[in-house]
Structure 1
């Protein structure tokens, strides 16, 4: 059995996670429990999609980063990433996290797209990397897009250089970047970067989705030993983008047109609606695991509430000082 979770929102738009177990024999999903983040994270944090070994990353509107270990319920407010320039708009477009077992160190990756508010300002896209051991950030410049996945100790993200597209890989162990060329694809097709049986893969499909009667065609491309190969072609009715492969690679999960989870059995060519509704803007499936690694944060919710309040006040003061420096009123 493999444990996974879905991101959902309650009636007050607060985030929580629905935990399930996946049966590797038939692809079915069994509900387990709900996971509610502590109050400060729940009220102020936005889940950015980065998680590893049961540790989740959240970020609020003031660029305050927080890590939460759901096993120990320990929370940690991270230091501010960098001195943000007030003349730039810098949304996070992709996130990844990895755990180094040998050093007991979590590393958090943030892909940031910088937009200049005024034409005369420079705005280079960048990568922010946080290390739990050093409790500090470093940055590297790069261009990228939101399509991404993390396989073993490597984070992969779609990138664009002019009119050409490729995949940028970031090795957490060596902290190095590499460029991977995509296979020759029809430019009218879309692709999703995914993990397939521990390997980097892409699922290629048409931007015009099929219906419940007319299936869409999907191609699975897998990279092995530095080379791409088309592993299979299959057809599925009534689904959107592919979401997640089961650990054995037999089952591929989709979001249906009715915002429900559909599992496709690649061995039989049949799909099944699991009757699970998705209550988020885009379905994502995250593996779950227990971790007892200490984040060196706080374990009491009340302490974190006070910590977050102090951090937000510091951000407010810094923003006021920056506005004064640039003559904002």
Structure 2
């Protein structure tokens, strides 16, 4: 006797599937055409993303540099082993061969990678393994006329820094903004004095092109940890004033109206340059990690803003040997780098500092380590699958330097 076939309503089936990881959904694409097409609808993609957002299903990877090959690797972290962070696998992007790309994002689970010394840029969804190379900039670099030397100068060097990646909800478009620094010299002089000019470029995924936008009066400074995008707005730290009289400001850019604004950094920060200030995203809000610049035993304050009001989330008392914060993982755990260039974890629940068993054979240039957190996402970026051309996956090694998969 055959048991009656039990059928679930399609709405319930899609509700269940929206809670599964991307890897499972990718395998289920071959179950039937209806499932495959449903996974690509904006409704399902949004539902899947919001489930991961509500459950704080963060994924983490470290950007690291191999001291032998000078290539950048992305080491995906996992907590599957003994509930501690270990390197699950290393990913290398040959498109950035011999380059050192910086990572910006994540927005809806998608990251942006840019090399500051070249025009190379790409958008990457590490969950679907979709990878899109951005076109080179078509913006003109005008000649620079020096009134002091009364002649036009030659463009000598171009650098791309202080970028951000975000989403414009008004036009349903992903955008990349980057600051471009142009260096001009008088080639007729034996020891020419450089002259600098800034541009700002904005990329649209919808049009797949770059355009120049007006530059703000302030230039961002370094001091962003991983992600500087929150709800349609990108943020950078900037400064004004002279040495010992610096005044900290926050430069913001609205992806929707494509306008810059200036916000004050509250007085809790302390005086520059006695304190470091790093902007970052914490639990979906703009935050700032503040710590003294010249102490071996360092304490950290985390401040978070909501509707313009800054509130101290917590203070981590003096930690001996810690020199630099890397960013936050799940449940408010803070990743740190110590004086021995090892990666540590401050457990927010137990207030304990743990040394992680993370493979360090890549980290001959450990000062280049950065931490990036993202949510799994099905967002399509009109690229290609990374494993076809752009990704070489490397086996990790354990403490005995034996390779393992």
Shift of the alpha carbon at 1:74? 3.6
Cross-structure match for 2:271: 186
- Unaligned segments of structure 1, at least 5 residues: 305-329
**Aligned CA distance change for structure 1 residues 47 and 227 (closer, same or farther; 3 Å):** same
Count of residue pairs the alignment pairs up: 295
The within-5 A match list for 1:255-274 is 255-274=337-356
Match of 1:14 among 68, 71, 76: 71
- Confirm or deny that 1:135 pairs with 2:208: yes
Pick which of 124-133 and 80-89 moved more: 80-89
- In 2: Cα distance, 1:177 partner to 1:110 partner: 13
1:262 Cα shift? 0.9
After superposition, the Cα gap between the structure-2 partners of 1:299 and 1:27, relative to the gap in structure 1 and judged at 3 Å, is: closer
**Per the alignment, in what secondary structure is the counterpart of residue 155 of structure 1?**
strand
Alignment of 1:123-272 (within 5 A): 123-138=196-211, 139-142=213-216, 143-148=219-224, 149-163=228-242, 164-184=247-267, 185-187=270-272, 188-210=274-296, 215-235=297-317, 236-249=319-332, 251-272=333-354
Give the structure, 1 or 2, with the largest relative contact order (CA under 8 Å, sep 6 or more): 2
Is the Cα contact below 8 Å between 2:155 and 2:182 reproduced in 1?
Answer: no
- In 2, distance between residues paired with 1:293 and 1:231? 32
Equivalent residues of 1:209, 1:239 under 8 A apart: no
Is the Cα contact below 8 Å between 1:93 and 1:145 reproduced in 2?
no
Q: Please report the TM-score for the alignment, with normalisation by the length of structure 2.
A: 0.63
Would the aligned equivalents of 1:191 and 1:204 in 2 still touch at CA under 8 Å?
A: yes
Where 2:196 maps in the other structure, the secondary structure is: coil
- Where structure 2 has 5 or more consecutive residues not aligned to the other structure, the ranges are 1-56, 143-153, 187-191, 391-405
Give the distance between the partners of 2:176 and 2:202, measured in 1 at CA.
6
CA-CA distance at 1:120 after TM superposition: 9.0
Q: 1:21 to 1:116 in 2, by over 3 A?
A: same
C-alpha change, 1:151 and 1:72, in structure 2 (3 Å) is same
Q: Which structure has the bigger radius of gyration?
A: 2
Aligned counterparts of 2:121 and 2:232: Cα–Cα separation in 1: 22
Equivalent residue for 1:98, pick from 154, 166, 183: 166
- CA change 1:272–1:111 in 2 (3 A) is same
Conserved? CA contact 2:177–2:200, under 8 Å: yes
Contact 2:84 2:356 in 1 (8 A): yes
Question: For residues 234 and 81 of structure 1, what CA distance do their matches in structure 2 show?
Answer: 47
CA distance in 2 between counterparts of 1:48 and 1:83 reads 24
Cα RMSD for the two superposed structures: 3.2
Contact 1:253 1:263 in 2 (8 A): yes
Query: Which residues in structure 2 correspond to 1:78-97 (within 5 Å)?
Result: 78-85=135-142, 86-87=154-155, 89-97=157-165
The aligned counterpart of 1:65 is 121
Cα separation, partners in 2 of 1:303 and 1:161, compared to 1, 3 Å: same
In structure 2, distance between residues paired with 1:161 and 1:88: 27
Distance 1:230 1:272 in 2: 24
The whole-number CA distance in structure 2 between the counterparts of 1:253 and 1:117 is 42
In structure 2, C-alpha distance between the alignment counterparts of 1:60 and 1:154, rounded to whole Å: 22
Does the 8 Å contact 2:130/2:383 carry over to 1?
no
Query: Shift of residue 131 of structure 1?
Result: 0.7
